[in-house]
Amino acid sequence: MTLDIQIKLKSNPYYIRYIREHSNWYKILNRDPMMFKNFEEKVKEDYKLRPMDKVAKALDTIELLQNILTTLK
């Protein structure tokens, strides 16, 4: 694995956690460092770090609060 890929992995705790849970990415990134973009997207998808995931989470929280307030009335 190239040094720059190793530095990128170690700089982000989500990357470290994901690559430890899915060890097949060691082999993939070792053979083809250009797959790092795919790795990043997969991490964001699985840990729900994409902007649309954050919006969906905020909407769910607002809906929950509305339901609680409706129940308390």
Average pLDDT of the chain, as a whole number: 94
What's the token pair of residue 13?
Answer: 């705790």
- Assign 1 a pLDDT band (cuts: 50, 70, 90): confident
Q: Summarize pLDDT for 26-52 with one digit per residue, the tens.
A: 999 999 999 999 999 999 999 999 999
Q: How far apart are CA 63 and CA 51, in angstroms?
A: 18
Region at 19 (left for phi over 0; alpha for psi -120 to 50; beta for the rest)? alpha
pLDDT at 73: 82
Domain layout of the chain by residue ranges: 3-72
Q: How far apart are CA 45 and CA 37, in angstroms?
A: 12
Q: How much of the chain is helix, strand and coil, in % rounded to 5?
A: 85, 0, 15
pTM above 0.85, yes or no: no
H or E, element range at 10: helix 3-11
pLDDT > 70 fraction of the chain, expressed in percent and rounded: 100
pLDDT at 64: 95
